[in-house]
Amino acid sequence: MLRRYGQLAVLLALVGVQAPMMVGTAITLLLTFTLGMVFLFSPQVMAVRRLAQRHRRLVGDWTGTPIEPPYRPAPPPPVRQADGMYRSDRTLYTTPRVPAWNNRWRWLISDPATWRDTLWLLLDPAVKVALVPLFVLLPGRGLRVYAHWVDLVLGATAASRLAGQVSHLQRTRDLAADSQAAEMRRIERDLHDGTQARLVAIGMTLGAVEQLVDTDPNAAKALLARARDASSETLVELRRVIRGIHPPVLAERGLADAVRALAMDSPLHVTVDVDLPHRPEAPVEAAVYFAVSELLSNAARHGDARTATVDISANGAVLRVTVTDDGLGGADPAAGSGLAGIERRLAAFDGVLAVHSPPGGPTTATMELPHALPGAAVEASRMPRRKVALVVLLWGTAWCPTFPQGIVAGIFKIFDLEKPGWFLGLHLPEPYQWPVILGMITLGVTMHVAAMRIVAAYNREHWAPGAVPWARGC
The conformation of residue 398, written as its DSSP 8-state character, comes to: T
Integer Cα distance of 223 and 33 in angstroms: 86
Contact 4, 140 (CB under 8 A): yes
Contact 343, 335 (CB under 8 A): no
% of the chain beyond a pLDDT of 70: 87
For CA atoms 87, 93, 94, 98, the dihedral sign is negative
Integer Cα distance of 96 and 43 in angstroms: 19
pLDDT-based confidence at residue 335 (cuts at 50, 70, 90): low
Average pLDDT over residues 98-114: 88
Contact 367, 275 (CB under 8 A): no
Average pLDDT over residues 191-198: 74
Sorted by sequence, the CB contacts under 8 Å of residue 439 that are 6+ apart come out as none
pLDDT-based confidence at residue 177 (cuts at 50, 70, 90): low
pLDDT, position 466: 36
Sorted by sequence, the CB contacts under 8 Å of residue 29 that are 6+ apart come out as 41, 44, 118
Cis peptide before 362 (omega within 30 of 0): yes
Q: Give pTM, 2 decimals.
A: 0.48
- Which is more confident, 239 or 393? 393
pLDDT, position 453: 80
Q: Collapsing DSSP states into helix, strand and coil, what is residue 72?
A: coil
Residue 423 has pLDDT above 60, yes or no: yes
Integer Cα distance of 67 and 143 in angstroms: 14
For CA atoms 138, 141, 142, 143, the dihedral sign is positive
pLDDT, position 221: 84
Integer Cα distance of 445 and 240 in angstroms: 67
Sorted by sequence, the CB contacts under 8 Å of residue 101 that are 6+ apart come out as none
Integer Cα distance of 245 and 261 in angstroms: 16
Integer Cα distance of 372 and 284 in angstroms: 7
pLDDT, position 245: 64
pLDDT, position 461: 59
**Beta partners for 309?**
271, 324
pLDDT, position 55: 92
pLDDT, position 473: 36
Residue 229 has pLDDT above 90, yes or no: no
Residue 375 has pLDDT above 60, yes or no: no
Work out the angle at residue 279's Cα, subtended by the Cα atoms of residues 277 and 282, and round it to the nearest 5 degrees.
165
Sorted by sequence, the CB contacts under 8 Å of residue 10 that are 6+ apart come out as 58
User: In this structure, which amino acid lies at residue 14?
Assistant: L
H or E stretch covering 310: strand 307-315
Q: Collapsing DSSP states into helix, strand and coil, what is residue 415?
A: coil
Chain centroid, CA 427 distance in Å: 55
pLDDT, position 471: 34
Average pLDDT over residues 172-193: 67
pLDDT-based confidence at residue 180 (cuts at 50, 70, 90): low
Sorted by sequence, the CB contacts under 8 Å of residue 16 that are 6+ apart come out as none
pLDDT in tens, 294-308: 898 888 888 888 999
pLDDT-based confidence at residue 341 (cuts at 50, 70, 90): confident
Residue 45 has pLDDT above 90, yes or no: yes
H or E stretch covering 436: helix 430-461
Average pLDDT over residues 151-173: 75
Go through the chain and tell me how many residues it has. 474
Contact 99, 107 (CB under 8 A): no
pLDDT in tens, 214-228: 788 888 888 888 888
HSE toward the beta carbon, residue 210, CA cutoff 13 A: 6
pLDDT, position 246: 66
Of 417, 384, 377, 401, give the one whose Cα is nearest residue 449.
Answer: 401
Integer Cα distance of 28 and 45 in angstroms: 10
Residue 168 has pLDDT above 70, yes or no: no
Q: How far is CA 43 from CA 24, 121, 155, in A?
A: 11, 15, 22
pLDDT-based confidence at residue 467 (cuts at 50, 70, 90): very low
E strands, 316-459, in order: 318-325, 352-356, 363-369
Contact 167, 75 (CB under 8 A): no
- CATH match for 254-378 among 3.30.565.10, 3.40.50.170, 3.30.70.20, 3.40.50.1100: 3.30.565.10
Integer Cα distance of 305 and 302 in angstroms: 8
